[in-house]
Amino acid sequence: MRHFDTGYFKKKITKRKFISKKRDITNRIIAWGLDKEYYDGKRINGYGGYKYDGRWKKFLPKIIKRYKLTKKSKVLDLGCKKGFFMKDLKDLVPGIKIYGIEDHEYAIKNAHPEVKKNIKYSEYYNLPFKNKEIDFIFAFNSIYTHNLRHTVNSLKEMQRVGKKNYVVVASYENEREKNAFLNWTVIGTTILSKKEWLKLFRFIGYKGDYYFSTARTLGLI
C-alpha cells in the first residue's frame, strides 16, 4: 500500500475558490440528482459541462508504467462517469480490455460512444466480477461520495476483484482543510483525515495504492 501521485492534481483549474464560497445546501440537493444538472448544467451545481478533452492522455503513461498495463490487461474504472479515462486508455493501449462501472444512469446514457458498451450499471460495493478477475482497478474520486459503510464495502470489493488497485479519496490534515473541502464539494460524503483513511485501509486489509484529494491539491487554500 503506497501513496501514488499521478500528477493530475497539479493541473490548475480556475474559479474553484469563488464557487466554493457560493455553494449551499440547494446546490448539493440539485447535484445529488446525478443527472444533467450535475454533469452538464451550471458549474455551481456540479461539473458545469462534463465534456471529453483527452486530458487523461497526459497522465496515463505514468499509470501504465506503474501497473504494467498491456493489451492483455483487464482494467476496471470504478465510478467511470462518461468513460473518458477508459477512452484515453483504450487509445494509448490498443487491444486492452477496459470496463467501467457507474451507479447512476445519466453518465452511462451520455458516455463516450467508443466505450459506452463497456460500461455497466452497478453499485460500487457489489461488483459483477469474479475474484481477482481484473488486473487493475482505478477508482478516481468516486467511492467517497457514498456513506462510510458503502465506502468500506467498495474498498473490500476492489480488494476482492482487483489484482492491483488505486483509489483517490477526499481527505484533510487540519480543520481549515476540512472546512474548505466541505464548502467545495457537492456530493462528497465520507471525508476523513489522512490518519483515519490509513487506519481504515489497514483495518479492512486494503493493500492497493491511494491518493489523498484535499483542499490544497484542489487549490482551494
Whole-number pLDDT of residue 221:
86
Gyration radius of the chain's alpha carbons: 17
Given a cut of 80, whether residue 16 has pLDDT beyond it is no
Domain ranges, ordered by start, for the chain:
8-213
**Distance between CA 85 and CA 105 in Å, rounded?**
18
Whole-number pLDDT of residue 19:
81
Domain 8-213 has CATH 3.40.50.620: no
Residue 134 CB contacts under 8 Å (≥ 6 apart), including other chains:
74, 75, 76, 99, 161, 162, 163
What three-state secondary structure class fits 151? helix
Given a cut of 70, whether residue 5 has pLDDT beyond it is yes
Higher-pLDDT residue of 129, 9: 129
**Distance between CA 42 and CA 20 in Å, rounded?**
13
Dihedral of CA 103/55/134/108: which sign? Answer: positive
Given a cut of 70, whether residue 12 has pLDDT beyond it is no
Least confident of 4-8, 101-105, 139-143: 4-8
Q: What is the mean pLDDT of residues 6-32?
A: 81
Whole-number pLDDT of residue 15:
60
Q: Convert the pLDDT of each residue in 159-210 to its tens digit.
A: 999 999 999 999 999 999 999 999 999 999 999 999 999 999 999 999 999 9
User: What band does 9 get if pLDDT is binned at 50, 70 and 90?
Assistant: confident
Report the chain's mean pLDDT, rounded to a whole number.
95
Whole-number pLDDT of residue 103:
97
Residues across the chain: 221
Residue 150's alpha-carbon distances to 107, 123, 186, 190, in angstroms, are 20, 9, 18, 10
Q: Convert the pLDDT of each residue in 51-108 to its tens digit.
A: 999 999 999 999 999 999 999 999 999 999 999 999 999 999 999 999 999 999 999 9
Provide the 10 A C-beta neighbour count for residue 141.
Answer: 18
Given a cut of 60, whether residue 11 has pLDDT beyond it is no
